[in-house]
Each structure stands twice: as C-alpha cells, then as structure tokens.
C-alpha cells in the first residue's frame, strides 16, 4: 500500500535560518503533492500544491520541490520566524486525481527559536 | 462563509454507544471527506464523497457509516463505539471549480473519547 514518510517528527531551528522538511513516498506515482500547516487544536490549512510536471513552486517564503524519480518532496521555509512554529503535513492523491482522495504523512513539528 | 463546520467539538462516549458527528460546508463544494488523526499516525481517510448520493471508503472505514443526501452535509456515524475510535476527527471539503479540486478545506475537528 502507499506509504508516506516525513523525515522527522520534530525539527528545531534558529530564527532567520532556512527550515527544510522532507516527504518521501513509495509504491505510487501521484499526479500532485500538497503541503499543509497544522497548529495545535486546529484543522490543517493548505499551503502549497505541486504537480508531477513541476520541479519547484514558490509562495512568499515557502518553496516546494518535487522529484518523481527520487519519490521525494522538499519543503523549505526561508528566513524562518517563531510564528512558523507548527506541524507541517505532506499529502498525496491516491485516487484518479479527480476525487481529492488523499493520504497524509505523520507530520513534522517545526520549532523556530528566537 | 462559515467554511467547514463540525459539531460537537468534544464528545465522551461509552463503549457500545452510537453517535453522529456532524459536518457541514457552505461553499457548495462537491467533494467531502472524513479523516481521523491519531498521535504519530497522521491523518487517515475514513470515507469520502464526490457528490450528493455518492460515497466511498477510504483507508480505515470499519466501524463508520456515512451518507450524503445534500451537497452541504456529510455526517459520520459510529454505530457501536469502541475505545479504538478515540481520536480527533476532521471533515474536509474541496471543489473542482476554480481549478482547486485538490485543495482540502478542513473543519476545526471533533475530539472523541470512548471509554
């Protein structure tokens, strides 16, 4: 069955540095991959989507890469701030691409220290 | 728009009791899903729907029923609650309009404790 693994459960970095989170998957070739942010006690919030024919996508201080050969996505937050502290989830489509049927990684909790 | 709303926020059940978790969205989204989230496990898909009257199973459907009689509502039923169903439940919706069918909008969650 499809598996998604995120590189670590927790990542601690200093304010101003770049945070890099990893998402690896197996047994599938998804049409797209998504990244979500989740704060304690709240539902996930969509951040970025990258398609299989896109190598990289950016949104403000966020950058996502997608390597379908390595079956890996990297999520970068540049010039990190304490407000970026949250859990970040990657997700990919396991349906036909028309249903939004997603599976999620277990998440990486990022702590940015002042 | 209120977005995706879920009720109740928190519920305690005894083993064997039944209950319905409510989910509603006011964005006219075709797609709706239910997930559960457990520590260290990430979000796991329970059931999903691509439109009114159409539902299908996700990764972990056992012990749960759904129906979708309207576009707005997608209730999740626990027929006979078990301690293994203690979890946080999230409902989500999405639409193929505006080119964003893949983007899920999540509700605030229902925290369920089964004793």
For residue range A10-69, what is the model confidence (pLDDT) as tens digits?
A: 899 999 999 999 999 987 777 788 999 999 999 999 999 898 888 899 999 999 999 988
The DSSP bridge pattern shows strands A10-14 and A108-113 to be parallel
Residues of B in contact with A44 (CB under 8 A): 43, 90, 104, 106
- Candidates A25, A41, A43: best to mutate against B (most CBs of B within 10 A) is A43
Give CA–CA dist B36/B34, Å, rounded.
7
Kindly indicate the confidence band of residue A89, based on its pLDDT and cuts at 50, 70 and 90.
very high
Cβ within 8 Å, pair B96-A98: yes
A104 closest CA partner among A95, A96, A92: A92
pLDDT at A1 over 70: no
Q: Tell me whether residues B104 and A102 touch, CB distance under 8 A.
A: yes
Is B95 in a helix, a strand, or coil? coil
What is residue B104's predicted lDDT score, i.e. its pLDDT?
A: 84
What is the structure's pLDDT at A8? 73
Which of A24, A47, A98, A100 should we substitute to test contact with B (largest number of B Cβ atoms within 10 Å)? A100
- Whether residue A91 and residue B43 make contact (CB cut-off 8 A), yes or no, is yes
Q: Quick one: tokens of B21? A: 């978790």
CA distance A71 to A27: 9
| pLDDT tens, chain B, 115 aa long | 789 999 999 999 999 999 999 999 999 998 999 999 998 778 999 999 989 999 999 989 999 999 999 999 999 999 999 999 999 999 999 887 665 556 789 999 999 999 9
Q: For residue B114, what are the CA distances in angstroms to A74, A97, B33, B57?
A: 37, 35, 22, 23
Which are the contacts of B43, defined by CB distance < 8 A and separation ≥ 6?
A44, A89, A91, A102, A104, B35, B36, B37, B90
Distance from CA of B88 to the nearest CA of A (A): 9
Cβ-defined contact of B42 to A101 (cutoff 8 Å): no
CA–CA distances in Å: residue A97 to residues A7, A31, A51, A112, B65: 25, 7, 11, 35, 24
Distance (Å, whole) CA B94 – CA B74: 13
State the pLDDT at residue B66. 97
Q: Decide: helix, strand or coil at residue B99.
A: helix
Q: Which residue from B8, B29, B4 is spatially nearest to B112, judged by alpha carbons?
A: B8
CA distance A41 to chain B (A): 8
Stretch (H or E) spanning B5: strand B4-7
Please report the pLDDT score of residue A2 as a whole number.
66
Give A69-87 pLDDT, tens digit per residue.
899 999 999 999 999 999 9
With CA atoms as reference, report the closest residue to B93 among B44, B50, B61: B50
Instruction: Please answer yes or no on whether B108 and A102 come within 8 Å at the CB atom.
Output: no
- The whole-number pLDDT of residue B114 equals 97
Contact A98 B101 (CB under 8 A): yes
Q: Do B92 and A34 touch (CB under 8 A)?
A: no
Chain B hits for A99, Cβ within 8 Å: 31, 48, 50
Asked if the peptide bond before residue B8 counts as cis, ω within 30 degrees of 0, the response is yes
């Amino acid at each position: 069955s499809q598996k998604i693994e995120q590189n670590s459960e927790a990542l601690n970095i200093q304010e101003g540095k770049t945070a890099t989170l990893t998402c690896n998957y197996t047994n599938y070739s998804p049409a797209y991959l998504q990244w979500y942010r989740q704060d304690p006690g709240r539902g996930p919030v969509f951040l970025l989507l990258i398609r299989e024919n896109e190598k990289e996508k950016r949104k403000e201080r966020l950058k996502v890469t997608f390597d379908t050969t390595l079956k890996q996505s990297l999520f970068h937050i540049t010039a990190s701030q304490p407000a970026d502290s949250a859990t970040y989830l990657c997700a990919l489509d396991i349906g036909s691409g028309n249903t939004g049927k997603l599976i999620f990684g277990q998440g990486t909790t990022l702590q940015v220290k002042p | 728009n209120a977005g995706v709303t879920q009720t109740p926020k928190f519920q305690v059940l005894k083993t064997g009791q039944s209950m319905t978790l409510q989910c509603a969205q006011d964005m006219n989204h075709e797609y709706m899903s239910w997930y559960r989230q457990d520590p260290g496990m990430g979000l796991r898909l329970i059931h999903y729907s691509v439109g009114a009257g159409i539902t299908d199973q996700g990764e972990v459907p056992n012990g749960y029923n759904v129906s979708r009689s309207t576009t707005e509502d997608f209730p999740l039923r626990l027929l006979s609650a078990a301690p293994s169903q203690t979890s946080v439940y999230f409902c989500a919706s999405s639409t193929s309009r505006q080119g964003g069918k893949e983007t899920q909008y999540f509700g605030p969650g229902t925290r369920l404790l089964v004793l």
